[in-house]
């Protein structure tokens, strides 16, 4: 299978080429890098030259998006670049889950994709922590029922807000601090962001588990997951490309359903 999976987020877009039972290429670009079908087409051909245009062997494409204005842009761009009609992921598709008492049409499709992937890999109960523009927490029961979750400000979003609101602080390089107690402004900011995020994640996960009366598997993904996951006491696995894995799974389910 040669599949192109694209996850369109508010801040960044992840693009992965799956070939030969593995992700051959994965890129992350700014969400504002390409805003027209022509720009998207050029971007795709530039990132994936091995596909060689419309006869490059691409079998399919799958797209999830939380930015509606970019849906048709990528749909047309994919069609122009590689001659494929992408599968646009929505809650009407088969995710391999059942929906609990939630307004599923108001849940970001990326959260549903993450939940489907985590449940297929680990079973349930499972909590997925996605550390992107927002930090989201999603719970799937032992029976494969999506039960809802939590949305909190993201790691980098919090950093940007801090720099914007406190002009004298200035911007500092973000990352894990060498110690908790900082001796410079930059060290203090790094420590606050890092340990604040760890505390937020661990407390929310513990409260979700207590409220649901479960002992869940906890997995994390997203841009800050590797940093925060290393210091968290509740996160057990970090899967950087969980959303792309989920898109591949959903594409295969849709393809198999169509063939049968």
Query: Rounded to whole angstroms, how far apart are CA atoms 220 and 50?
Result: 31
DSSP string, 191-255: HHHHHHHHHHHHHHHHHHHHHHT---EEEEESTTHHHHHHH-SS--EE-TTHHHHHHHHHHHHHH
**Among the listed residues 108, 224, 111, the one whose alpha carbon sits nearest the alpha carbon of residue 159:** 224
Hey, what's the torsion of the CAs at 206, 211, 212, 217, to 10 degrees? 0
* Annotated active-site residue in 7, 110, 138, 202: 110
Based on the residue annotation, tell me whether 130 is a catalytic residue of this protein: no
Residue 101, CA distances (Å) to 87, 95, 98 in order: 27, 17, 10
Greatest pairwise CA separation for the chain in angstroms: 64
Query: Per DSSP, what are the bridge partners of residue 128?
Result: 138, 219
3-state helix, strand, coil in the chain (%, to 5): 45, 25, 30
**Rounded to the nearest 5°, which phi and psi values hold at 8?**
-95, 110
Per the document, the length of the chain is 260
To which H or E segment does residue 68 belong?
Answer: none
Catalytic positions, written as ranges: 110
């Amino acid at each position: 299978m040669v599949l192109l999976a694209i996850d369109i987020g508010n801040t960044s877009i992840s693009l992965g080429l799956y070939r030969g039972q593995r992700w051959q290429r994965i890129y992350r670009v700014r969400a504002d890098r390409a805003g027209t079908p022509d720009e998207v087409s050029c971007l795709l051909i530039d990132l994936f030259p091995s596909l060689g245009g419309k006869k490059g062997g691409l079998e399919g494409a799958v797209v999830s998006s939380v930015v509606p204005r970019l849906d048709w842009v990528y749909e047309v761009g994919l069609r122009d670049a590689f001659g494929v009609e992408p599968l646009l992921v929505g809650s009407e598709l088969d995710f391999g889950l059942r929906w609990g008492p939630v307004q599923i049409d108001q849940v970001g499709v990326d959260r549903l994709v993450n939940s489907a992937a985590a449940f297929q890999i680990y079973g349930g109960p499972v909590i997925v922590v996605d550390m992107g523009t927002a930090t989201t927490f999603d719970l799937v029961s032992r029976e494969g029922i999506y039960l809802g979750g939590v949305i909190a400000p993201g790691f980098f979003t919090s950093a940007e807000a801090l720099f914007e609101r406190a002009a004298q602080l200035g911007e500092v390089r973000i990352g894990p601090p060498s110690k908790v107690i900082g001796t410079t402004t930059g060290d203090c900011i790094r420590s606050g962001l890092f340990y604040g995020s760890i505390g937020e994640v661990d407390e929310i996960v513990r409260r979700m588990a207590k409220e649901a009366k479960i002992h869940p598997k906890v997995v994390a993904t997203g841009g800050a997951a590797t940093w925060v996951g290393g210091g968290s006491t509740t996160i057990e696995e970090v899967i950087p490309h969980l959303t792309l894995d989920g898109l591949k799974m959903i594409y295969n389910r849709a393809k198999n359903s169509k063939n049968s």
